[in-house]
Each structure stands twice: as C-alpha cells, then as structure tokens.
Amino acid sequence: MDNKRKKDSMVVSTLLIVVIMTLFITSNVFGKLSKVSNQQDKEITVYLAGDSTVSNYPDNMAPRTGWGQVLPSFFDDRVRIKNRAVPGRSSKSFIIEGRLAGILKQIHKGDYLFIQFGHNDEKFKDPTRYTKPSTTYKSYLKQYIRGARQKGANPVLITPVERRRFSSDGGALNTHGRYPSAMRALGHEEHVPVIDLTAKSRKLFQQLGPEKTKDLFMWIDPGTNPNFPRGVQDNTHFQDKGAKEIAKLVVEGIREEKVGLRNHLK
C-alpha cells in the first residue's frame, strides 16, 4: 500500500513538473510572439522638413498644395506623415528658428526625416536664408542627418523640385544651379538615400512642355477661383494636380532607393 502511494505521488509530481514546464515554455513563446507583433504594429512617423513646395495649405489658399500635403494618401495606415515644412524657409533659417530642434524632440527610433531645401537657400540677398552650395548648404544639411541618426531615425535627402522654366526652344531648364549636385554629393559622403526630385521633375516638365505644365503649377485665370479673383501666374508652387504628380515622383524615389518605407506604399 505504501509503495502504491509512493508511486502515485511520484506520478503526480512528474505530471506537475510537466505542466509547469509546458506553461513556462508556452508563456515564453507567446511572449516573444507578442513582442514581434507589437513591433510589427508600431506606427512609423515620417517628418517632412522643407519649404513652400512641400508644406500644407489652408482651404482659403486652395488650390495651392504642397507635395507633402498629399503624401499620406500613398501609404498604408501604419505610416503617419507629420508635415513640418514651412513656406520661405531654407536649410539655414529652418534651423535658426528652432524648427529642426522641434522635430528632434519628437522623432523616435525607426522614424524617418525627409529633407528638401534649396529654393530659399539660393536667396543670396538675404543673409538669414542664403547658403553656399558646396559649403554652408551641406553643413546645415548635415545637422538634419546627424540629428536624426542620433535619435535612431532615418534621414532621406530630397533634391529641390524644379521651378517651371523653359528655354526659347521649349527645353525644361535647371533652376537650382549647384544645389542639387551638392546634396547628391552629401548623400554619397554620409551614406544617406537621395531622391533626385530635381532630375525627376525636370524630366516630367520636359515631357509635358510649357503649356501642359501650367496645369500643374499655380496658373489660374482671373475670375475662375474665389481665392485668387485676379488670377495668378506662379511658376514655383503647385495646384493639387501638380502636388500629386510630384508626390508620385517622391514615391518612385522611395522605391528606387529601397527606403524601408517602400513596404508600406499602397
């Protein structure tokens, strides 16, 4: 009888050990799976630093639209776009005003910082904005790159989108001088992806020609829009249609440069 009780007790103890070990292993497995799932479900934020060609606009300025304003429509619901671009800013003045610092306070590991400047860096008569392509322009851009990397985020350089300007024989012109090449060189030096929006947009404008590009830019006839009753002929800023076309080029560049975000494009 005592032997039987001892055997029964040993069986029960063995079963308890098996149950406890099974629970331990199962909890570890589910814990790891849960951790992986949480990592996969984490929202990615893309911060945009740039000028008026990128920024958002209120309804009373419609149809004026920055390409950053329409960029969210190209991504799935795991990507959030925070457009911090501001009209009139250069790579220099954006920093001086504390706008880069504001982004770096919020950006997290795994996020992205898209950087497009050039239009206002060219304003040589304005010392608060002007930068030299091969020196100060690159040194200010480095602050964006290094600031993002220090937070574990991913910088992406975007050369400035072209203005609408054509030669007498209808050729789309380079409107940004040496700034795009300086940014491309910096990307190579710092091992940062560069989306060459300058080249992409000039190619698009060349394909469309002088007349059809008016449909992309803020060319509005007098009396056709209540926000611009006198009309406007603006060769820098985009209508909604133009912003979408430029955003498509940015998305094309994301794929070409194999930026991690490409996995979340629609």
Per-residue pLDDT of the chain (266 residues; tens, 9 = 90+): 455 454 555 544 554 444 445 444 444 444 443 443 444 468 999 999 999 999 999 999 999 999 999 999 999 999 999 999 999 999 999 999 999 999 999 999 999 999 999 999 999 999 999 999 999 999 999 999 999 999 999 999 999 999 999 999 999 999 999 999 999 999 999 999 999 999 999 999 999 999 999 999 999 999 999 999 999 999 999 999 999 999 999 999 999 999 999 999 99
Every domain of the chain and the residues it spans: 1-41, 44-264
Inter-CA distances, 4 with 7, 13, 14, 16, 18, Å: 5, 14, 15, 18, 21
Structural contact between residues 179 and 121, judged by C-beta atoms closer than 8 angstroms: yes
Q: 7: how many CB neighbours lie within 10 A of its CB?
A: 10
**How much is the pTM?**
0.85
Q: 226: how many CB neighbours lie within 10 A of its CB?
A: 8
Fold of 44-264: Rossmann fold (3.40.50)
88: left (phi over 0), alpha (psi -120 to 50) or beta: left
Q: Whole-angstrom Cα distance, residue 159 to residue 196?
A: 5
Spacing of C-alpha 250 from chain mean position:
8
Q: How many CA atoms lie within 13 A of 147 on its CB side?
A: 22
What is residue 16's predicted lDDT score, i.e. its pLDDT?
47
Structural contact between residues 45 and 80, judged by C-beta atoms closer than 8 angstroms: yes
Query: What six digits make up the tokens of 86?
Result: 């501001």
CA proximity to 91, closest of 146, 128, 55 = 128
Which positions ≥6 away from 45 have C-beta within 8 Å?
79, 80, 81, 82, 106, 107, 108, 111, 112
Q: Whole-angstrom Cα distance, residue 3 to residue 10?
A: 11
- Cα–Cα–Cα angle for 231, 249, 114, nearest 5°? 95
Structural contact between residues 217 and 239, judged by C-beta atoms closer than 8 angstroms: yes
